[in-house]
Homo-oligomer: A and B are copies of this chain.
Amino acid sequence: QIIEATASALASGPMSGKHVIVTSGPTHEPIDPVRYIANRSSGAQGTAIARALAALGADVTFITGPADVPAPEGVRVVAVTTAREMADAVDAALPAQAAVFAAAVADWRVTSASDRKIKKTAGGLPVLEFAENTDILARVSQMTEGRPALVVGFAAETDDVIANATAKRARKMCDWIVANDVSPETGIMGGGENAVTIISENGADSWPRMDKTQVAQRLAQLMSDALA
């Protein structure tokens, strides 16, 4: 009975009937069959956001790279490895009323990737050639047709956090940027807490340092209000 009541409450939550895409975790870009380039991301913040949106009744498509934390319950999970696969999964999941791009997507992929292991004896040091990956945040933000009403990007910065994130918001043309300082000394990467600043058309709103679950719930509520 309690379970039924909860399910019923969720289905009738403030985001009921709204489809939200959430990306989360790192991407892995192969160099050869045994080596890859990765971004540090546990997936904890993206997972918490997907869970919080689902708790408000949203219909969530959760597109996740190889994360350390398990995917939340009650969402549609799409597991990917590379940035290209993530971009394709976002395309396939559209349309949506909102999108939260919390994944740490590789900016570059290795175009010289080998399908055989690069041998150390094959003459000196490896040369890696890169190409830029699709910028998922910019592409969705700049859609001329069927753009989600609310597009939220993330900015992991190590210096000039607010200035860099404000410039990123303008450049990508997304609605909000959730900016945080990932300098090693903050302990945020891989930790349970986050200290974020929300950049919107209204400027920068810095939240106190809090649990990633609390950040997620506050952001989900803000999104719910914006879409209401």
Q: Residues on A close to B: CB < 8 A? A: 28, 31, 33-41, 104, 106-108, 115-117, 119-121, 125-126, 128, 130-132, 156-159, 164, 171, 182-184, 189
Q: Knowing A108-B125, A130-B126 are in contact, say whether A38-B35 is a contact too (CB < 8 A).
A: yes
Chain B residues lying within 8 Å of A106, measured Cβ to Cβ, are 35
A117 touches B34 (CB 8 A): no
Chain B residues lying within 8 Å of A184, measured Cβ to Cβ, are 33
Dominant secondary structure at the A interface? loop
Chain B residues lying within 8 Å of A28, measured Cβ to Cβ, are 38
Chain B residues lying within 8 Å of A130, measured Cβ to Cβ, are 125-126
Q: Knowing A107-B120, A125-B108, A125-B130 are in contact, say whether A35-B31 is a contact too (CB < 8 A).
A: no
**Interface pairs (20), CB distance under 8 Å:** A28-B38, A33-B40, A33-B158, A33-B182, A33-B184, A34-B40, A34-B156, A34-B158, A34-B182, A34-B189, A35-B38, A36-B37, A36-B40, A37-B37, A117-B159, A120-B132, A121-B171, A125-B130, A125-B131, A125-B132
One complex includes copies of this chain to the number of 2
A33 touches B117 (CB 8 A): no
Chain B residues lying within 8 Å of A128, measured Cβ to Cβ, are 128
Task: Write the nearest CB–CB distance from A80 to chain B, whole angstroms.
Answer: 16
A117 touches B182 (CB 8 A): yes
Q: Knowing A158-B116, A159-B116 are in contact, say whether A39-B33 is a contact too (CB < 8 A).
A: no
CB-nearest residue of chain B to A125: B130
CB-nearest residue of chain B to A28: B38
CB-nearest residue of chain B to A107: B120
From B38, B125, B158, A117 is in contact (CB under 8 Å) with B158
Chain B residues lying within 8 Å of A182, measured Cβ to Cβ, are 33-34, 117
B183 touches A33 (CB 8 A): yes
